[in-house]
Amino acid sequence: MVKDFGVPPTTASSTIVVYGLAVAALVMTGAKLGQRIGWVLIFRIVVAVFALSSVLMITATSIGWAIGGQVLAGASAAIIVPSLVALIAENYRGAQQATAVGSLGSARAFSGISAFLIGGTLGTFVGWRPVFFITLALAIAVFALSFGLRGDRGDPAIRIDLVASALIGAAVVLLTLGFNNLNAWGILLAEPGAPFSVLGLSPAPLFVVVGVMFGQAFFLWTRRRMRLGKVPLVDLSVLGKRSERAAVYAMFIIVAMEAAVNFTVPTYIQVVQGRTPFDTSLAMMPFNLTVFVTATLIVRFYKRFAPRTIALFSFTLTTLALIWLSVVVTNNWETFPTILGLVVFGIGQGSLVTLVFNVLVTAAPKTLAGDVGSIRGTTQNLASAVGTAVMGALLVTLLSMGFTQAVAAHKDLPPEIMTQVDLDQVNFLSNDALKAKFEETDATPAQIDAAVAINEEQRLRTLRLGFLVLAGISAIAALPASRLPRYRPEEIPAPDNLPEGA
């Protein structure tokens, strides 16, 4: 896009940003639209809109058209997320339903494989437009297959709570923007790249604080409407039990950890090692493939083990795998110990992704399946943003501190040389890029080699510390996991099991 449209990378990347923001802001409103119009009909409509967005991307003549296409795609995805849960509730029962929930839970991993492999290959060897021919073909196929689905006709009497929609939309957008830009705009003080500052403070943490305030206002408003007997945007009764809230907390941690790993490994491979997106897709294949397979197969254990047992065992796996990676990881990602660690982590991750989703779905009446889907979508969007941002900020901070201290202690790197280099700008660079930075100074070849060696050592140390921190978070997740139900999930409750007043 940078080359085709003649725009800077930051402008081109806005196509990704607007897609994510559209999904995050509209997913809860999308659930209520599905209940009003009917899940099958709304599903067909948004799939058609998604196909239109692919056409816009294929034919885009400017970055503005590309951004518009991604806004449409994001809005479509926001409604598709809850509709899939509701359609599973309508069309499957028993073991088939558990398998369908597992397949939906593993979709993130499968999409990760597809994005890395197909997108990476086409992006490296062909270009970005052919990717959208694939999404267009998929949309057409899904639209055709949707005529085999059954579902209710919706309820035109349902009214959408516009106030709640605005509150949660603003909250999610501000939280997503805030967390995603912690590194670029500054964790506390504003960086030069920040769009604005408030008394020298970065807008990123301010967005997070204001987003939390909007989120709290949403919950207060929704509870008030429920007390008055009015239809809320999202029925909070789906989170009425401690086990259901524990499932949401566990889901947040799971997705955040997955996002952190999916950020750390590709960043290290592409930015530090200077390898292509295709190489990155191959390196991530063991992890994403394991998550996909495990998320699909874990449903076979539901009749033998309770959710609490599976969750505690899976979090133990992820914790041990992350500790293992912190010990064995090297600059070469193709070593057997590293692949083994990613595979074990993927087994735990895949099991958890499906499990906590299934706990939420089976605990809610079928009529509230869309609400469960919207809560799942919102949780995953926020967790992905938080996991990526926090891991990025942590790695940058650790690397900056480690590199600065190591340079200060090195006898061959005098302060007058280091003052010529902005240390904040040499953290996550390949060795060649770092050499180029130092070649602009008065440093001798020996001093340049010493600086590169220090940075290489500190990068690896930072990576290992990052995995250790994730292991600690995984261990803490045993707390919400211990509150998951002991029962063995069967299927989504029928409408006649709807709690009174829901």
DSSP one-letter string for 37-66: H-HHHHHHHHHHHHHHHHHHHHH--SHHHH
Pick from 6-10, 107-111, 349-353, 483-487: least confident? 6-10
pLDDT of residue 414: 77
Nearby residues of 498 by Cβ (< 8 Å), 6 or more positions away: 365, 367, 368
SS3 201: strand
| Confidence tier at 153 by pLDDT (50, 70, 90) | confident
| Confidence tier at 123 by pLDDT (50, 70, 90) | low
* Residue 23 near residue 227, CB atoms below 8 Å: no
> What does the alpha-carbon distance between residue 204 and residue 189 come to, in Å, rounded to a whole number?
9
Q: 176 or 111: whose pLDDT is higher?
A: 176
pLDDT of residue 122: 74
Q: Where in the chain is the domain with CATH 1.20.1250.20?
A: 2-160+233-398+463-493
Q: 405 or 499: whose pLDDT is higher?
A: 405
* Residue 434 near residue 422, CB atoms below 8 Å: no
Q: Residue 10 pLDDT > 60, yes or no? A: no
Residue 198 dihedral angles phi and psi, to the nearest 5°? -120, 105
> What does the alpha-carbon distance between residue 425 and residue 346 come to, in Å, rounded to a whole number?
33
Q: 350 or 183: whose pLDDT is higher?
A: 350
| Confidence tier at 493 by pLDDT (50, 70, 90) | very low
* Residue 170 near residue 152, CB atoms below 8 Å: no
Handedness of CA 307, 309, 310, 311 (dihedral sign): positive
pLDDT of residue 112: 65
pLDDT of residue 120: 65
SS3 144: helix
| Confidence tier at 497 by pLDDT (50, 70, 90) | very low
Q: Residue 488 pLDDT > 60, yes or no? A: no
Percent of the chain with pLDDT over 90: 18
Q: Calculate mean pLDDT across residues 387-412.
A: 81
Nearby residues of 211 by Cβ (< 8 Å), 6 or more positions away: 170, 171, 172, 173, 174, 175, 178
Q: Kindly report, residue by residue over 413-459, the tens digit of the pLDDT.
A: 777 776 777 665 555 677 777 787 777 777 788 888 888 888 888 88
Comparing CA positions, the residue from 350, 103, 377, 365 lying closest to residue 252 is 377
The tokens describing 90, both together, are 């309508």
Nearby residues of 26 by Cβ (< 8 Å), 6 or more positions away: 74, 75, 78, 79, 169
pLDDT of residue 502: 37
Query: For the domain bounded by 2-160+233-398+463-493, which CATH number is listed?
Result: 1.20.1250.20
pLDDT of residue 500: 39
Looking at every residue in the chain, the average pLDDT score rounds to 81
- DSSP 8-state code for residue 426: S
- Residue 160: how many CB atoms within 10 A of its CB? 16
* Chain centre distance of CA 240: 25
Q: Residue 501 pLDDT > 50, yes or no? A: no
Residue type at 379? T
Q: Residue 495 pLDDT > 50, yes or no? A: no
Q: Kindly report, residue by residue over 32-90, the tens digit of the pLDDT.
A: 888 888 888 989 999 999 999 999 989 888 888 888 888 898 889 888 878 887 888 77
Comparing CA positions, the residue from 169, 177, 165 lying closest to residue 207 is 177
What is the pTM assigned to this prediction? 0.80
Residue type at 116? F
Residues for the chain: how many in total? Answer: 502
Q: Calculate mean pLDDT across residues 465-493.
A: 79
Q: Residue 132 pLDDT > 50, yes or no? A: yes
Comparing CA positions, the residue from 474, 429, 220 lying closest to residue 326 is 474
* 172-176, 344-348, 379-383, 415-419 — most confident range: 344-348
Comparing CA positions, the residue from 39, 121, 115, 36 lying closest to residue 80 is 39
